[in-house]
Amino acid sequence: MKKYHFKMMAGNANYALIEASRGCDHQCTFCSQWKHWKGKWRTKSPKRIADEMEHLYSEYGSNFLWLTDDNLGSGERIESLCDELIKRDMDDLMWFVQARSDDIIKNKDILPKMRKAGNYWIMAGLERHDTRTLKNFHKTIRTSDAKVSMDLLRENDIFAQATFIIGERQDSHESIEKLREFVNYTDPDLAIFMILTPFPGTKLYDIARANGWIEDTNWANYDMIHAIMPTENLSREEVQEELYKCYRSFYGNVKRRLKGLFSPNPLKGRVYRYMAGRGLLQALGGLF
C-alpha cells in the first residue's frame, strides 16, 4: 500500500527505494518489523546514505527517493545527512521518509534544513486519539503530539501524511467517531486509515489467535483494508463499514478537497487530483 501511494504521488519522477537503516528500537504490538530484526535498529552513516542517494540520482536519474526506514529517528544523524545532501549538486532531489510524531517535534529546529535538503514528504503513524489504545499498542507517543507534528510539517512546506488504525478490540461506533473527530482536528495533508490486522509474527497475532478473535484466514485479505477480526462491540462487517466512513469523513469534506486540489504544494495537489479522478471513495464503499 505504501509503495502504491509513493508511486502515485511521484508522478512522472524517476523514483527509487533506499535503505538507510534496518529495524526499529520500538515494540508496537501490531508491527512485525521490529521482531523480524530482533528489536535492533542498525543505521548507515549519514555519508554512506548520501553517497547511495547521489549514486541513484546521478547514475539512474532517480530524483524521488523513498527511504524505507521504519523510523527516521532524530538528532545529529539527521542533521548530518542533510548537510551531506545540501553540499552535493542535486537541486531537484526529493525524498520521503517515515517518522514518529515525537521525533518530528524533537527535530523541529532541523526541519527547515531537511526541507532544503529535499525532504518534501513525511509520514507519521499517529494511530489513535486515545492514550489507552496507544498504550495497548505499546506505541509510546502522546496524542498531544499529533497536531503539533502535523503543524510543524506544514509550516516547513513538507507534505504531512498520517496513518490511523481502527478495529482495536474495544472499538465501537462511538470510539471510531471520536477518532474521526481527532483526525479532522489534526488535519494532515493526507490521511490513511487502516484496519488493525494480526500479521503472523506480531504480538497482536499471538494474542488474537490465543483468544479466538481471528475469523478470516485468507492471507490475501491481510492488507489492512479488510476486517480480519470483530471487536467486542462491532462485527467484521461493521468494522469494514467504519473504514469507509473514516475515508468519507476526511476526503468527503468539500472545503478540504478544494484546498487539496488547488494547493500550492505540488505533492498535495497531485494526490487530490488523482483521487478525484479515480473515484477512490466509491471503490472503498464496495468493500462492504
CATH code, domain carrying 99: 3.20.20.70
Which grid coordinates belong to 61?
Answer: 536519474
Q: How many domains does the chain have?
A: 1
Whether the CB-CB separation of 183 and 146 falls below 8 Å is answered with: no
Domain that holds residue 91: 2-285
Residue with cell 481527532: 182
Predicted local confidence at residue 252, as pLDDT:
83
Integer Cα distance of 7 and 4 in angstroms: 5
Q: Where are the beta strands (DSSP E) in 3-156?
A: 15-18, 21-23, 41-43, 64-67, 94-98, 119-127
Predicted local confidence at residue 275, as pLDDT:
73
Whether the CB-CB separation of 87 and 59 falls below 8 Å is answered with: no
Predicted local confidence at residue 96, as pLDDT:
93
- Over the chain (288 residues), what is each successive 10-residue block's mean pLDDT? 47 80 81 73 91 95 90 84 94 92 94 95 94 92 95 95 96 98 95 96 94 96 96 98 94 81 79 70 56
Predicted local confidence at residue 1, as pLDDT:
43
